[in-house]
Amino acid sequence: LLLEMSATQPVKKKPFKKTLYRGFEIDQLLEKNTEEILKIMNSRQRRRYAHGISNKYERLVKKIQASVKATPYGEKPKPVKTHLRNCIITPEMVGGVVECYG
């Protein structure tokens, strides 16, 4: 009975889900500068940026961007290992893979 039903109905593919953050798509967020993105974020993240972001977080973002650029289209990027568990995820980091040591 189950085989007959599956043979008659074609398998439907799931539609590609758009990734949104507070109503904005990734492309729209990448076009914005840091100040505009901070207006969208929660107060905790805004406060952290107001106190200043150290160089180690900027280096992490550059490593993630480099791994995404080095990856061919359609493949998963090489993971970037880090100790920075409390890093704020920014739109530039979306699409990269991060692993934590430990």
Those residues of the chain that have pLDDT short of 70 are 1-11
- So what's the pLDDT on residue 76? 92
CA–CA separation, 17 vs 102, rounded Å?
A: 32
- So what's the pLDDT on residue 2? 52
- Helix ranges (H only) for the chain are 2-8, 26-31, 34-40, 43-51, 55-69
- Express each pLDDT in 33-60 by its tens digit: 989 999 999 999 999 999 988 999 999 9
pTM: 0.73
Cα Rg for the chain, rounded, in angstroms? 19
> What distance lies between CA 82 and its chain's CA centroid?
16
User: Among positive and negative, which fits the CA dihedral 55, 56, 57, 61?
Assistant: positive
- So what's the pLDDT on residue 7? 56
